[in-house]
């Protein structure tokens, strides 16, 4: 069955009749819409909706993008990503054209539909155990990113993703950054797997728990000399990559990013920032996996980001986690830049 949210004319950002690429709201709205286009591509496939009744094309055509390629999972043959090319009608007449992308590689999140649900949940479980980098879906994704960047350069490519798709884009961006290639990224409701400390109301208790956790994590990381050296090298490589991370405090899947960056700032203020910088390069789960000799990649560990927090109240988890919130014209955002030094 069709949902109103699948129809661009009913739920898309129709107010963006002109895109000013220097405007952060416009960039965010277009990136989120292209991710929604991937969701609808898979729904079109499942429901056998083809031209002229397919619902996906307006989600990119409205902004003058062309679908170049669908990224298809080798396990269940579902569409999990898409590569778009920006083709403005009058290239030399656009304001701020230099700020626009030439290509956008977008990834969708989990779909709760029978044909794709089992595979998507399998990937979600890989995120929980820090093993997304070992999956064939990610191999398809990172190869697409590498090929595109090799063809047109990193400054001409954007990454975008929501939920599971944000984890894919995050991991792809981190993988490229470790090799000195910094691809702009728009990450919506990216998973941050941690105890829900951010939901504790008492600020002193919350801060105390975070300090204790940081000391334990930093100590274990330092004790593991090999892991310590590897993490130091990775952080130096990653420090220049500054993805845009969009979170909603009402979404427990991503809300810990708020405390993650704010805690690091507070630790600097009280003079123990060195402990926190080491702690934020590691996760307890990742350290335990490494101790057992297993390769582990904790997705949420990023040294730098533009963190945008949606302060608009959400009615429920579905709204707080949904992709549609990110193109609302009345969105109340609080943005901060966190840069590792």
Q: Which pLDDT belongs to residue 99?
A: 85
Q: Which pLDDT belongs to residue 294?
A: 54
DSSP state of 327: G
CA distance 341 to 303: 9
At 175-185, the pLDDT tens digits run 999 999 999 99
Q: What share of the chain is helix, strand, coil (3-state, %, to 5)?
A: 50, 15, 35
Residues 169-174 have a mean pLDDT of 97
Q: Which pLDDT belongs to residue 339?
A: 86
Q: Which pLDDT belongs to residue 278?
A: 52
Q: Which pLDDT belongs to residue 56?
A: 98
3-class DSSP state for residue 333?
A: strand
| Cβ(297)–Cβ(231) below 8 Å | no
| Cβ(35)–Cβ(41) below 8 Å | no
CA distance 211 to 113: 41
Please name which of 126, 130, 229, 236 lies closest in space to residue 180, comparing C-alpha atoms: 236
Q: Which pLDDT belongs to residue 205?
A: 57
Residues 310-335 have a mean pLDDT of 96
Question: Which residue ranges make up each domain of the chain?
Answer: 4-190+226-254+301-338
Beta bridge partners of 187: 161, 245
Q: Which pLDDT belongs to residue 337?
A: 94
What is the architecture, at CATH level 2, of domain 4-190+226-254+301-338?
3-Layer(aba) Sandwich (3.40)
| pTM score | 0.84
């Amino acid at each position: 069955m069709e949902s109103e949210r699948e129809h661009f004319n009913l739920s898309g950002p129709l107010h963006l009749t002109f895109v000013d690429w220097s405007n952060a709201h416009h960039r965010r709205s277009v990136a989120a819409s292209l991710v929604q286009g991937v969701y609808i591509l898979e729904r079109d496939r499942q429901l056998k909706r083809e031209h002229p009744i397919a619902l996906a094309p307006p989600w990119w055509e409205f902004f003058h993008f062309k679908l170049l390629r669908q990224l298809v999972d080798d396990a269940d043959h579902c569409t999990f990503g898409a590569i778009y090319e920006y083709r403005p009608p009058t290239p030399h007449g656009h304001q701020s054209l230099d700020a626009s992308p030439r290509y956008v590689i977008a990834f969708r999140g989990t779909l709760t539909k029978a044909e794709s649900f089992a595979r998507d949940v399998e990937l979600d479980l890989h995120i929980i155990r820090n093993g997304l980098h070992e999956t064939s879906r990610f191999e398809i994704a990172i190869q697409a990113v590498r090929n595109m960047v090799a063809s047109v350069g990193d400054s001409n490519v954007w990454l975008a993703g929501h939920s599971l798709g944000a984890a894919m884009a995050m991991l792809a961006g981190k993988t490229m950054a470790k090799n000195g290639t910094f691809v702009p990224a728009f990450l919506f409701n990216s998973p941050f797997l941690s105890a829900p400390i951010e939901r504790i109301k008492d600020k002193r208790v919350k801060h105390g728990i975070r300090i204790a956790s940081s000391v334990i994590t930093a100590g274990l990381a330092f004790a593991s000399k090999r892991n310590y050296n590897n993490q130091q090298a990775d952080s130096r490589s990653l420090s220049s990559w500054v993805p845009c991370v969009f979170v909603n405090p009402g979404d427990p899947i991503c809300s810990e990013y708020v405390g993650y960056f704010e805690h690091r700032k507070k630790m600097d203020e009280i003079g123990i920032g060195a402990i926190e910088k080491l702690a934020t390069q590691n996760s307890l789960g990742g350290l335990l996996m490494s101790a057992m000799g297993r390769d582990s990649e904790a997705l949420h560990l990023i040294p730098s980001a533009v963190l945008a927090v949606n302060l608009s109240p959400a009615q429920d988890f579905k709204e707080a986690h949904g992709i549609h919130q990110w193109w609302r014209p009345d969105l109340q955002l609080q943005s901060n830049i966190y840069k590792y030094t």
